[in-house]
Amino acid sequence: MTFITEIKTFAALGSGVIGSGWVARALAHGLDVVAWDPAPGAEAALRKRVANAWGALEKQGLAPGASPQRLRFVSTIEECVKDADFIQESAPERLELKLELHSKISAAAKPDALIGSSTSGLLPSEFYEGSTHPERCVVGHPFNPVYLLPLVEVVGGQRTAPAAIQAAIQVYESLGMRPLHVRKEVPGFIADRLLEALWREALHLVNDGVATTGEIDDAIRFGAGLRWSFMGTFLTYTLAGGDAGMRHFMAQFGPALQLPWTYLPAPELTDKLIDDVVEGTAEQLGSHSISALERYRDDCLLAVLEAVKTTKAKHGMHFHD
Ligand SMILES: NC(=O)C1=CN([C@@H]2O[C@H](COP(=O)(O)OP(=O)(O)OC[C@H]3O[C@@H](n4cnc5c(N)ncnc54)[C@H](O)[C@@H]3O)[C@@H](O)[C@H]2O)C=CC1
Ligand SMILES: C[N+](C)(C)CC(=O)CC(=O)[O-]
């Protein structure tokens, strides 16, 4: 079984934060993009988000012919997918909604067009249950902002063909991404399991009055956050074990895991906790608008990506190593 991997037309269903990020990435790679979203005013909101991202994409370098004008917004699912070579769904994270949407998408799509879902952690075997040609259906879980962050987790369901996983990896690579094949279909995949643990503990720290949202963000951005862009937890902790490496690290810090410092269940989302988090982050936002902070974030990310790429090259490594 073969799937389309040379893509000219990219279909995006759902054009919120993540869908618009996919649209911007695909446009920047010189593709024609067709988008659909049922919300009133969705087309204007999408074009505004793409415009806000375009400056960063220009700085990063556009493919020949890349233009926001190659985006066409349509009014039906069928029109969106019928001529598409690759389809990416970024609809709200609700199982029933995705189940129904994918039965319509897959029925109208070319049979050999791959279908990816941006879900953050739902299981593909479940929401592709009613899909036509389920062997071409995968999860392609991206990270915000999708147009700059390279990681995409690729996950197959019980009926996904291994060849479709490889084909999807090829397509995401052609969009400049760094696919990571999640070999076992588990809720939350790999990255969101880790991010959820951090998020849960951050909420506990606010709930227990230990720290404000700003202080917790400081604890990340001036410490581990800086090193995470080029070295993950396992290699970082190997170095933290000194010359004796990971075995010494495990012997020294392993017992603390039995205390443990962290809680497993999430805190109850009481009105007070929600207010504390919303008020804390409003203070952090200050007078900046979300789009201004998105441009600031994008500039920082471009600088970090460039620094990591240049430094890796000096050490004989490729960016995707
Ligand atoms: N926001 C994030 O940080 C990330 C989200 N994701 C995933 O991406 C997907 C989309 O999330 P967001 O973009 O954050 O949500 P969002 O709320 O920003 O956007 C969702 C969009 O879907 C549209 N929509 C509503 N009903 C729809 C339907 N029946 N069919 C198609 N579109 C519909 C909405 O009008 C809205 O524009 C979810 O599966 C989420 O788990 C993945 C990575 C990160
Ligand atoms: C909060 N979230 C689970 C939707 C986050 C993600 O899925 C990935 C990200 O961009 O952090």
Q: Would 318 be classed as within a structural domain?
A: no
Q: Would 151 be classed as within a structural domain?
A: yes
The pLDDT of residue 247 is 94
Looking at the CA of residue 196, tell me the nearest atom of ligand 2: 3
Domain boundary among the residues 130, 161, 182 is at: 182
The pLDDT of residue 263 is 86
The amino acid sitting at 174 is: S
Round the average pLDDT of the chain to a whole number and report it.
97
The pLDDT of residue 288 is 95
Q: What CATH number is attached to the domain comprising 109? A: 3.40.50.720
Are 93 and 41 in a shared domain?
yes
Distances (CA, A) of 273 to 159, 210, 282, 283: 41, 13, 14, 15
Give the residue numbers spanning the domain of 211: 191-286
What separation in Å is there between the alpha carbon of 3 and the centre of ligand 1?
26
Looking at the CA of residue 119, tell me the nearest atom of ligand 1: 39
ipTM: 0.99
Q: Would 304 be classed as within a structural domain?
A: no
The pLDDT of residue 132 is 97
Are 172 and 215 in a shared domain?
no
Are 266 and 150 in a shared domain?
no
Distances (CA, A) of 321 to 166, 173, 236, 284, 309: 18, 14, 16, 35, 10
Look at residues 166, 132, 239, 177 and name the one whose alpha carbon lies nearest to residue 28. Answer: 177
**What confidence tens digit (pLDDT) does each residue in 82-119 have?**
999 999 999 999 999 999 999 999 999 999 999 999 99
What separation in Å is there between the alpha carbon of 65 and the centre of ligand 2?
31
Q: Would 28 be classed as within a structural domain?
A: yes
The pLDDT of residue 261 is 87
The pLDDT of residue 260 is 87
Are 36 and 162 in a shared domain?
yes
Ligand 2, pocket residues at CB < 6 Å? 120, 143-144, 192, 195
Are 216 and 95 in a shared domain?
no
User: Which amino acid residue places its CA nearest to atom 9 of ligand 2?
Assistant: 143
Known binding site: residues?
14-19
Known binding site for NAD(+): residues?
14-19
Are 178 and 211 in a shared domain?
no
Which regions in the chain score pLDDT beneath 50? none
Are 15 and 102 in a shared domain?
yes
Are 123 and 142 in a shared domain?
yes
Are 162 and 209 in a shared domain?
no
The pLDDT of residue 1 is 83
Count of structural domains within the chain: 2
Domain boundary among the residues 153, 182, 211 is at: 182
